[in-house]
Amino acid sequence: MQVRNFIWYVLNKPLPEAQAMSDLLIKKEFEPCLSQQQSSQGWVAPLHHGEWVYEAHGAQLLMLKQERRLLPSSVINEHLQGKVEEFEASEGYAPSRKIRQQMKDDLTLELLPKAFTKSSRIPVLIFPRQGWMFVLSSSTKSADDTTAFLRETLGSLPVSLVSSDVSPSHLMTRWLSEPNTLPEDWSIGEEVELQEPDAGTVKVRNQDLLAEELTVHLDAGKLVSKLALIWREDISLMLEEDLNVKRIKLLLEDDDAPSSSDPQEAKFAHEFAVTCNWMVPLCQSLLKALGGLDKALAASQSRAFSEEGH
């Protein structure tokens, strides 16, 4: 399980223990689309025939599976045109908007069972001790759908999107204009996106971001909305102003990686261990660089976890 992107949440109170969570996930087990269903979703075991909550290295992994039928609107419209022409030939006038909509609905029901299906899996990674949850996706909509379904599954989901005490956009802008203010372990990569209200976006890629050309945009008041960063010379990533992290890449070779002949379980376990080993310290370092967790959010989380401990 290699992490390429994540959307970061803070737990406002602890989630159920692994076994209690598993019992709830089973009740929302994934089932393939029925013939008249456009989409379906449900929980599956992260490892085939494994536990519903994969637990190791202080982390828990859940796996949401989604399936949808591929029925492009162009296919429906092509069939609809034929129906409209048949109607006009038999009735002598064009069908009304209401009749056209009914034709379209009927065609959708007729064509759905013949449509191919496409499935995807969205991992949810939880670090109970740190009070963090990550949806391993680059899509905000996908993360919203996943957290909504997890909330439906568990009955409640007390989470908030992570928020730092200092504005990421203003801090990234400062790092770019004053590289000596970069915190320890961090360096600037070769990509940036700058924005200014009502003035469009400037994207710079594969260039030295400390070159003088960017000074013009910074002097004009543009703020960094996305910045390529490198952590400890080990990991490169793209940090966005809402603290979404994308395009994560491990820069060093993994000398201990299992061979291609090793069982799938061994490969999965190794990748999961590697992920946990870098993800926690990286996120801790990132939060520290951004002035820590938003004070109100941190106080609320601390209070809730303290009460739960008692």
- Do 178 and 277 lie in one domain? The reply is yes
> How confident is the model over 232-255, as a mean pLDDT?
92
Q: How much is the pLDDT for 12?
A: 92
On the CB side of 106, CA atoms within 13 Å amount to 10
Question: Which tens digit of pLDDT belongs to each residue from 102-132?
Answer: 999 888 888 888 888 899 999 999 999 999 9
- Do 19 and 149 lie in one domain? The reply is yes
- What is the C-alpha to C-alpha distance for residues 108 and 79, in angstroms, rounded to an integer? 10
Of all helices (H) and strands (E), which one includes residue 187? strand 186-195
Other C-beta atoms within 10 Å of 210: how many?
11
> How confident is the model over 5-19, as a mean pLDDT?
95
CATH of the domain at 57: 3.30.310
- Do 149 and 280 lie in one domain? The reply is no
Q: Is residue 147 in a domain?
A: yes
- Dig out the tokens for 89 from the structure: 């030939």
* Residue 310 pLDDT level (bands cut at 50, 70, 90): very low
- Do 25 and 42 lie in one domain? The reply is yes
Q: How much is the pLDDT for 309?
A: 59
- Dig out the tokens for 230 from the structure: 């490198």
Q: Is residue 309 in a domain?
A: no
Report how many domains make up the chain: 3
Kindly report the pTM of this predicted structure: 0.85
- Do 26 and 82 lie in one domain? The reply is no
* Residue 308 pLDDT level (bands cut at 50, 70, 90): low
Q: Is residue 272 in a domain?
A: yes
- Do 13 and 148 lie in one domain? The reply is yes
Strand partners, 43: 29, 64
- Do 103 and 138 lie in one domain? The reply is no
**Strands 186-195 and 7-11, sheet pairing:** unpaired
> How confident is the model over 8-26, as a mean pLDDT?
95
- Do 204 and 89 lie in one domain? The reply is no
Q: Is residue 1 in a domain?
A: no
- What is the C-alpha to C-alpha distance for residues 39 and 64, in angstroms, rounded to an integer? 13
On the CB side of 215, CA atoms within 13 Å amount to 6
> pLDDT > 70: what percent of the chain?
97
Q: Is residue 284 in a domain?
A: yes
Sign, Cα dihedral of 71, 74, 75, 80: positive
- Do 144 and 281 lie in one domain? The reply is no
- Do 139 and 212 lie in one domain? The reply is no
Q: Is residue 305 in a domain?
A: no
- Do 78 and 64 lie in one domain? The reply is no
Q: Is residue 2 in a domain?
A: no
Amino acid identity, position 9: Y
Q: Is residue 301 in a domain?
A: no
Question: Which tens digit of pLDDT belongs to each residue from 134-160?
Answer: 999 999 999 999 999 999 999 999 999
- Do 64 and 81 lie in one domain? The reply is no
**How deeply is 19 buried, as exposed, middle or buried, from its count of CB atoms within 10 A (0-12, 13-18, 19+)?**
exposed
Q: Which residue segment(s) compose the domain that 216 sits in? A: 168-292
Q: In terms of pLDDT, which residue wins out, 266 or 256? A: 266
Q: In terms of pLDDT, which residue wins out, 209 or 33? A: 33
Average pLDDT of every residue of the chain = 90
For residue 31, pLDDT beyond 70:
yes
